Amino acid sequence: MSDATTVDYDGMIPNNVGLNADPRLRRALERWHPGYLDWWRDRGPEGFQEKLVYLRTAVSVEPEGWAKFGFVRMPEYRWGILLAPAVEDRKIGFGTHKGEPAWQEVPGEYRAMLRRLIVVQGDTEPASVEQQRHLGSTAPSLYDLRNLFQVNVEEARHLWAMVYLLQKYFGRDGREEAEELLSRRSGDRDSPRLLGAFNETTPDWLSFFMFTFFTDRDGKMQLHALSQSGFDPLSRTCRFMLTEEAHHMFVGQSGVGRIIERSCAAMREAGIDDPTDIQRVRALGVVDLPTMQKKANLHFSLTLDLFGSEISTNAANAFNASLKGRYLEDQIDDDHQLLNNTYPVLRLKDGRIVKEDAAALSALNMRLRDDYIADASSAIERWWNRIIARAGFDFRIKLPHVAFNRRIGEFAAIHADPHGNMLGAEEWRRRRDAFLPTTEDNLFIESLMRPVTERGDFASWIAPPRAGIDGMPGNFEYVKLAG
């Protein structure tokens, strides 16, 4: 068995990267560890740090049975460094270095670019933990509380994954970057997280589920693109992170789905046929569908900004350098160099939104964003709209137009409605409340956020899940709050 599949689970830092044989790296990580724990206690989940939580921990990287479930106090969680098994004789699949053996060391000419890619990805991981830190006190059930903490510890493990790469491969500046990953703060005025959506607040559980649906899905796309990297340690790290990411998306899609399910059932019981009769629906103590649509509009548009500008030389450079590929690059049938290809991009021309062919290399952000939109929209059909249709309501959650509510790229300069019709500033101000959550909407959602901590109970606004975690029964005590 190679060391790629053997996990050393005895040391302070579980790993399959041969940490014991690399004392310099081990010392660097051990020096970073106390600051990390301070960060977790300080900026991680508020309260609950001493409670036993039923969590899964990665103990292997085999597709079968990589996780083990058990009760653990979060600060004692085994945050490990785990790479997916090496692919023997792996060749670089795209860009200038296509066909060359994958790099096991950092290619000198791309050092800065590679470090930046790792730092930007790494920064999002602790950011989301910080954004979600207050949610524990209003969890709608022990099941949901446990899922929140599972997402939190795994995002923190993703931070470890990126810090490992920085400390192992980037010497002193890698160590400095690793420190800075602990010192930036989501939403902080002086030292914010690097990307906009990771400085927004996640004030309630509907926001949390929307965030894991929309924004963790951006994480999935980025990890896919990085898992194609010619830098093999990055590729292997990201491949393993994707197995965890799938659960985060499940939490989001099933969480919103359960809210929709409960709302539809309550409307049926009350004989409400019109789901847009907001006040009557809210009087039932459930979330109305138009508000769900507005929350989706908000989280979708904030997440689109994470894909960057429509036309981007950075994206082209990272692809040319064989550092960041496309979504499922290895399944695309083309030359994987894109020197003469074009890609259709929506742009703002003479005050109108038009589709235009751009050089495929400069349009890579758009391609990833389009892949993201396709992925999100099929998940919405499968997980959300099916529930509404089955309940017999004439209402569908739809993704807004890409020009809607943007702060980055072509459409940052204009206002558009969710259909992509351009609006003047005055009209935008007048109609904005119909598209995005208002203070009143948020106050209503906040009014529903009361903790439910009895085993097997759920808040009135959310349906129980179909199945428990790890096959546990409905009344399982996922978080032991007493003692």
247 interacts with Fe ion by CB under 5 A: no
**Interface size with Fe ion, residues (CB under 5 A):** 7
Mark the segment that binds Fe ion (CB under 5 A) among 96-104, 242-250, 414-422, 430-438.
Answer: 242-250
Phi, psi of 44 (to 5 degrees): -85, -165
Residue 344: what residue type? P
Which residue number, 155 or 200, has a Cβ lying nearer to Fe ion? 155
> Are the beta carbons of 17 and 6 closer than 8 angstroms?
no
d(CA 312, CA 362): 5
Mark the segment that binds Fe ion (CB under 5 A) among 54-62, 108-116, 180-188, 218-226.
Answer: 218-226
CB burial of residue 354 (10 Å; 0-12, 13-18, 19+): exposed
Smallest separation (angstroms) from Fe ion to the CB of 159: 8
Report, in angstroms and rounded to the nearest whole number, the Rg of the chain calculated over CA atoms: 23
Helices 232-269 and 205-227, axial angle in degrees (round to 10): 150
216 interacts with Fe ion by CB under 5 A: yes
Q: How far is CA 360 from the centre of its chain?
A: 26
Smallest separation (angstroms) from Fe ion to the CB of 42: 20
Residue 102, classed as helix, strand or coil, is: coil
144 interacts with Fe ion by CB under 5 A: no
Which residue number, 219 or 400, has a Cβ lying nearer to Fe ion? 219
Residue 103, classed as helix, strand or coil, is: strand
Bridge partners of 354?
Answer: 347
Which residue number, 124 or 228, has a Cβ lying nearer to Fe ion? 124
Smallest separation (angstroms) from Fe ion to the CB of 289: 26
Smallest separation (angstroms) from Fe ion to the CB of 180: 18
56 interacts with Fe ion by CB under 5 A: no
Which residue number, 252 or 409, has a Cβ lying nearer to Fe ion? 252
User: What does the block give as tokens for 138?
Assistant: 């209003």
168 interacts with Fe ion by CB under 5 A: no
Smallest separation (angstroms) from Fe ion to the CB of 211: 9
66-105 mask for Fe ion (x: CB under 5 A)? ----------------------------------------
Q: Considering only residues 118 through 137, tell me which ones interact with Fe ion, judged by CB under 5 A.
A: 125
Closest CA to 292 of 334, 328, 327, 264: 264
Q: Give the residue, chosen from 56, 133, 157, 158, that forms a contact with Fe ion under the rule CB under 5 A.
A: 158
Smallest separation (angstroms) from Fe ion to the CB of 441: 26
d(CA 385, CA 381): 5
CB burial of residue 108 (10 Å; 0-12, 13-18, 19+): exposed
248 interacts with Fe ion by CB under 5 A: yes
Residues near Fe ion (CB under 5 A) are 125, 155, 158, 216, 219, 245, 248
